[in-house]
Structure 1
Amino acid sequence: MSEPNDTGALHSALGTELFVLQSAASSTISEAGTRSTIYLSTLSGGLVAVGFAGSSPSLLAVLTFTVFPTIFMLGWFTVVRLVDTSVESITAKQRMTRIREYFASLHALGPTLIAQDDPRTTGELGVRYARSSYLFTMASMVGAVNSVLGGALVTLVLTIGLGLRTLPATLIGIAVGLVVLLATLRYERRRIRSVTSGSADASSSR
């Protein structure tokens, strides 16, 4: 590959780009933590409010059909954004890897001092990510909690609103919660695979 005429300018630009990507990756982690905290705090506050209203059936019904749907929608919005931050972080990491590989190729000692580990053995930075690793992200965590909330909301609607018996309503709520969880995980997996499939193919071809 031919080098540009002004190699120094290229190296300076790559160093700046590496710094920008590092800042972007750090901001995605900070945003993910903040959004998860906001959702969990809102859910905790909503549960406390519903608990205090348990002695009044009419007030309990009002809070159940207003607070829980609102928190459930907030959970969906949070999951979508958390998946976005995961995609942004993965993309930034892939671009930083390409820049580091270029710098490593400039000197004989570069691969030893700069190059990352082989993802086929120990993985980058000593952690090997499998196909199921997306199950342990913040998006999956919030999605699991939100699925339980969705199932509980359906159960409450069937029992309080429609007068269905507790056992059938609970079974239906569990089924709905599982469907919501599977839909959430499938959405996250599809989004993450869209940015990791290319890098996986490139690694396997080395």
Structure 2
Amino acid sequence: METEPSAALMSAIVTEHFVLQSGAGTTVSEALGRSSLYLSALSSSLIALGFAAQTPGLLLPFAAAALPTVFVLGVFTMVRLVGTGVQNMLYLSGISRIRGYYRTLDPEAARYFARWGAGDGETDDALGSLAVRGGPMAGLFTAASMIAVINGVLAGVGLALLTYYVVTDHHLPAALAVGLVAMTAGLAMFFRYQHRCYLRVQR
């Protein structure tokens, strides 16, 4: 015979549900703030580069100082955005677990606490709440991936400029090749890192 949950248990579960929702909202706010900070730093640097290009001999020293700084900021931003994304998934999985318990309270409860995802796992349900399906392609649509693409282009352009002006003495094909290889390698490393971080959540 099934027993009714105690009032203390229901109070604790509702409180935990609220805490998890608040935590999920905090991760989204942090991701937005860090992304905005990086994009602001990047746009400011690019505007300053435009002004520096108008003065002979100033572009290269300024680019050598600004681009690596913004790139490192981008790396820090990407790593933290992956962390907040993983933490958000843990919060949403916890909410999915609680909603699963709600479905057992009454025969009619399944109608009001329907699953968000197509799969049976809590992670699938958490991804479903974000309108995302699990799989290798899911990581392409995160905030971290957006910053990674921009930062990858920045790294490729920076190395291409270095190759063009310093290493090869204005050899454009070589500079373009170096830039493309650097951008591709950087993005591949990032997506591998992000995928491994999200895999740990699903286990």
Q: TM-score, normalised by structure 1?
A: 0.88
What is the aligned counterpart of 1:159 among 145, 161, 164? 164
| Superposed CA offset, 1:100-132 (max 9, x none) | 111220111111111324524996348351411
Partner of 1:180: 186
In the alignment, is residue 147 of structure 1 matched against residue 147 of structure 2? no
In the alignment, is residue 137 of structure 1 matched against residue 142 of structure 2? yes
Cα distance in 1 for partners of 2:183, 2:44 equals: 21
Measured at CA, do residues 168 and 3 of structure 1 come closer, stay the same or move farther in structure 2, by a change above 3 Å? farther
Report matched runs for 1:49-198 at 5 Å. 49-120=48-119, 124-125=128-129, 127-131=131-135, 132-162=137-167, 163-196=169-202, 198=203
Return the offset for 1:3.
6.5
Q: Is the 8 A contact 2:99 2:113 kept in 1?
A: yes
Cα distance in 2 for partners of 1:142, 1:126 equals: 19
Q: TM-score, normalised by structure 2?
A: 0.89
Cα distance in 2 for partners of 1:12, 1:105 equals: 16
Structure 1 gaps of 5+ residues are: 199-206
Report matched runs for 1:1-80 at 5 Å. 7-80=6-79
Cα distance in 2 for partners of 1:170, 1:57 equals: 23
Q: Is the 8 A contact 2:38 2:74 kept in 1?
A: yes
Aligned pairs, how many? 196
Where 1:30 maps in the other structure, the secondary structure is helix
Cα distance in 2 for partners of 1:128, 1:46 equals: 34
What percent identity do the matched residue pairs reach?
Answer: 35
Partner of 1:204: none
Where 1:116 maps in the other structure, the secondary structure is coil
Cα distance in 2 for partners of 1:87, 1:55 equals: 44
| Superposed CA offset, 1:47-96 (max 9, x none) | 11111111234211111110000000000000001101100110000011
For residue 100 of structure 2, what is the amino acid of its counterpart? E
Return the offset for 1:19.
0.3
Measured at CA, do residues 66 and 15 of structure 1 come closer, stay the same or move farther in structure 2, by a change above 3 Å? same
| Superposed CA offset, 1:136-158 (max 9, x none) | 11100000000000011111111
For residue 127 of structure 1, what is the amino acid of its counterpart? A
